[in-house]
Amino acid sequence: MPVAAQVLRHASDHPHRLAVCGPAGELSYAELARRIRDTAADLAAPGLARGALVAISLADPVDQLIAALATDLAGGTPLLCDPAWDERLRAAIPADRHLDSLPPAGTNDVQSSAEAGTPAQRAAAWPHPEPGDRAWACFSSGSTGRPRAVVRTRGSWTASFPWVSELAGIGPGDVVLVPGPLGSSLYGFAAVHALAVGATALVPGRWSPGSLDEQLGRATVAHLVPHCLPAVLDALDAMEDGAPLRTVVIGGAALPAGLRERAAEAGVRVVSYYGATELSFVAADADGAGLRPFPGVELQVRTLPGQALGEVWARSPWLAEGYLAGAAGPLRVDGDGWMSVGDVAEPYLSGEVLRLRGRGDGAIQTGGATVVPEDVEEVLRSVRGVGDVVVVGSPHPDLGAVVTAIVEVGAGTPPSRASLEAVARGGLAAAQRPRRWYAVDSLPRTSAGKPARGLLSARLAGDDPDLWRLT
User: Which residue ranges form the domains of the chain, and what is each CATH number?
Assistant: 1-159 (3.40.50.980), 278-359 (2.30.38.10), 364-469 (3.30.300.30)
Q: What is the pLDDT of residue 86?
A: 79
Give pLDDT tens digits for 202-255: 999 988 889 999 999 999 999 998 878 999 999 999 998 889 999 999 987 778
Give pLDDT tens digits for 98-107: 999 999 876 5
Q: What is the pLDDT of residue 352?
A: 93
Q: What is the mean pLDDT of the chain?
A: 87
Q: What is the pLDDT of residue 451?
A: 75
Q: What is the pLDDT of residue 373?
A: 81
Which residues lie closer than 8 Å to 265 by C-beta, 6 or more apart?
A: none
Give pLDDT tens digits for 248-302: 999 877 787 789 999 999 999 999 999 988 999 999 999 999 999 999 999 999 9
Q: What is the pLDDT of residue 53?
A: 94
Q: How far is CA 417 from CA 383, 411, 423, in A?
A: 11, 18, 10
Q: What is the pLDDT of residue 107?
A: 54
Q: Which long-range contacts (C-beta less than 8 Å, at least 24 apart) are formed by 22-25? A: 22/60, 22/61, 22/62, 22/203, 22/204, 22/205, 23/60, 23/61, 23/204, 23/205, 24/60, 24/62, 25/62
Q: What is the pLDDT of residue 398?
A: 78
Report which of residues 251 and 367 the model is more confident about: 251
Mean pLDDT of 309-323: 93
From first CA to last CA, the distance across the chain in angstroms is 53
Give pLDDT tens digits for 431-442: 899 999 999 998
Report which of residues 141 and 20 the model is more confident about: 20
User: What whole-number distance in Å separates Cα of residue 250 and Cα of residue 449?
Assistant: 40
**DSSP-derived secondary structure letter, 211:** G
Q: What is the pLDDT of residue 240?
A: 85
Give pLDDT tens digits for 23-52: 999 999 999 999 999 999 999 888 888 889
Backbone dihedral region for residue 325 (phi beyond 0: left; psi -120 to 50: alpha; all else: beta): left
Task: Reply yes or no on whether the pLDDT at 467 is more than 80.
Answer: yes
Q: What is the pLDDT of residue 358?
A: 67
Q: What is the pLDDT of residue 125?
A: 62
- Which range is least confidently modeled, 124-128, 153-157, 403-407? 124-128
- Which range is least confidently modeled, 6-20, 100-114, 126-140, 412-426? 100-114
Q: What is the pLDDT of residue 98?
A: 92
Of 91, 93, 32, the C-alpha closest to 67 is: 32
CA 368, 382, 457, 374 dihedral sign is positive
Cα torsion 134, 277, 3, 198 to 10°: value is 170
Given a contact cutoff of 8 angstroms between Cβ atoms, the answer to whether 299 and 332 are in contact is no
Report which of residues 361 and 75 the model is more confident about: 75
How are beta strands 77-80 and 53-56 bridged, if at all? Answer: parallel
Given a contact cutoff of 8 angstroms between Cβ atoms, the answer to whether 390 and 406 are in contact is yes
Q: What is the pLDDT of residue 446?
A: 53
Q: What is the pLDDT of residue 120?
A: 44
User: What whole-number distance in Å separates Cα of residue 225 and Cα of residue 105?
Assistant: 34
Q: What share of the chain has pLDDT > 90, as a percent?
A: 55
